[in-house]
Amino acid sequence: MTSYAQSVIAVILGGGAGTRLYPLTAARSKPAVPIAGKYRLVDIPISNCINSNINRIFVLTQFNSASLNKHIKNTYLFSHFSSGFVDILAAEQTPDNAGWYQGTADAVRQSLRHIRNNDFEYVLVLSGDQLYQMDFVEMLDNHVASGADLSIATIPVAAREATEFGIMKTDAENNITSFVEKPKADVLGEWVSDTGDEMQRKGRVYLASMGIYIFTRKLMNELLLNKFPDATDFGKEIIPSSISSHKVVSYQYNGYWTDIGNIYSFFEANIELTSDVPEFNLFDSSHPIYTRPRMLPPAKISGTTLEKTVIAEGCIVLASRIENTLMGIRSRVGIGSTIVNSYIMGNDFYETLEQMEDNNKEGVPRIGIGDRCYIKNAIIDKNVRIGNDVRINGGAHLENVDHTLYTVKDGIVVVKKNAVLPDGFII
């Protein structure tokens, strides 16, 4: 089948305030949140595009975007002899629009003045906060072969998840015939689909939108500029209104996919990477995840028992035991400490010996985790200083709370970026 990848422009939506991922989004946008120890969330859709030979990519940013913009600028540099690019389109005031992006559709509409300067036939719209590995060429080839005006990537989900997504029904040719946004549990029976034998055995009988769309260039202009010039959201307005008037096709994806919507899903997705055979395969050389090359030294580990632990480069670990834990770049853990079921994001820099000495004199803990600490069910954000004999014991026994140094959500303790926990601190 002919590949149409060279006729595609990809548009990655940078997201809004990301309040459900607070405090990880207190000073950064959701796509800039560190994941898997060394990546950012935005690296996932960009890598999927590059692996699909789609190398003209716009990232639409608005909220807390400085670190995201810096990451993209420092990471995605194409050859002078390539037409590829990853360009940032920040929300901007113009003579005909003085407002911020009001939603997914409005963000793309406001950016069309820049996107349309390129030669393309199809627009691939992606979210910047999902974890998956997908070949967009297969979806694009299916889009063209089916004669679709609009394709929506769908994934089978179970009843407990269905109420969080846009759910659709299809006919025998996979044309979408009806769509409902976040249906109530009592009407789910009307939305059961034939998702295939394997998915049905798992109870995944509802077709959910993945927030991944392919539009023809003509339809994108028609919908956003002419037919629905005031619509702000694809899922709530554009998609439902297009089903009756255009050929809208479902492309069912059966691989691993998770929407990083809240602290719990973010935590689970990261901890799952420590499994013997994780569903998201970081070691698949045919689908590499690209990120900023940092030229860090290898990790150094001494006297530590490791069990199902992923350790990024540049770490210095002297802990007693680390289990079911992901350790990000430049993490430092002191002697006798135990870490269980946690994500340590790591640090942006190393302290010099002189800085450590000065901090010792002032009673400031070193960057990283000190000696004889116990940390369980926690996310430790970047550049945190945890003193000696600190105890963090997350779990269902803790109530949700937002402290100046940490937040507890669904039993998970999130220590905030740059926080300083003194010796003996207990959560």
For residue 338, what is the domain's CATH number?
2.160.10.10
Q: Is residue 295 part of a domain?
A: no
Judge if 318 and 182 occupy the same domain.
no
- Helices (H) and strands (E) in the chain — how many of each? 10, 29
Residues 176 and 169: beta-carbon distance below 8 Å: yes
pLDDT at 95: 61
Token pair 């450590």: residue: 356
State which residues of the chain have pLDDT below 50. Answer: 1
**Around Cβ 85, how many Cβ atoms within 10 Å?**
13
pLDDT in tens, 356-387: 999 989 989 999 999 999 999 999 999 999 99
Judge if 258 and 348 occupy the same domain.
no
Distance CA 50, CA 172 (A): 32
Judge if 78 and 202 occupy the same domain.
yes
**Around Cβ 336, how many Cβ atoms within 10 Å?**
17
Judge if 204 and 319 occupy the same domain.
no
Q: Is residue 31 part of a domain?
A: yes
Distance CA 60, CA 57 (A): 10
Report which residue type is found at 225. Answer: L
Residues 215 and 122: beta-carbon distance below 8 Å: yes
- Which distant-in-sequence residues (6+ apart) come within 8 Å of 188 by Cβ? 159, 162, 163, 167, 206
- Which distant-in-sequence residues (6+ apart) come within 8 Å of 137 by Cβ? 3, 4, 5, 52, 53, 54
Judge if 264 and 305 occupy the same domain.
no
Provide the domain count of the chain: 2
Distance CA 213, CA 358 (A): 54
Structure tokens at 349: 């820099």
Judge if 263 and 311 occupy the same domain.
no
Judge if 341 and 232 occupy the same domain.
no
Q: Which domain holds residue 416?
A: 300-421
Q: Name the residue among 402, 409, 406 with its Cα closest to residue 419.
A: 406
Report which residue type is found at 130. Answer: Q
pTM of the complete model: 0.92
Q: Is residue 283 part of a domain?
A: no
Judge if 255 and 310 occupy the same domain.
no
pLDDT at 214: 95
Q: Is residue 243 part of a domain?
A: yes
For residue 34, what is the domain's CATH number?
3.90.550.10
Q: Name the residue among 145, 152, 143 with its Cα closest to residue 207.
A: 152
- Which distant-in-sequence residues (6+ apart) come within 8 Å of 268 by Cβ? 258
For residue 23, cis peptide bond before it (omega within 30 degrees of 0): yes
Judge if 310 and 406 occupy the same domain.
yes
Residues 392 and 413: beta-carbon distance below 8 Å: yes
Residues 65 and 86: beta-carbon distance below 8 Å: no
Judge if 173 and 36 occupy the same domain.
yes
Last residue of a domain, one of 252, 272, 292: 272
Judge if 150 and 24 occupy the same domain.
yes
Residues 384 and 418: beta-carbon distance below 8 Å: yes
Q: Is residue 288 part of a domain?
A: no
Last residue of a domain, one of 254, 272, 290: 272
* Reduced 3-state DSSP string for 203-262: CCCEEEEEEEEEEEHHHHHHHHHHHCCCCCCHHHHHHHHHCCCCCEEEEECCCCEEECCC
Q: How many Cα atoms occupy the beta-carbon half-sphere of 175 within 13 Å? A: 14
Judge if 194 and 151 occupy the same domain.
yes
Helix, strand, coil percentages, rounded to 5, for the chain: 25, 30, 45
Distance CA 31, CA 371 (A): 33
Structure tokens at 427: 């959560």
Residues 81 and 98: beta-carbon distance below 8 Å: no
Give the Cα-Cα-Cα angle 64, 67, 71 (nearest 5 degrees).
140
Report which residue type is found at 249. Answer: V
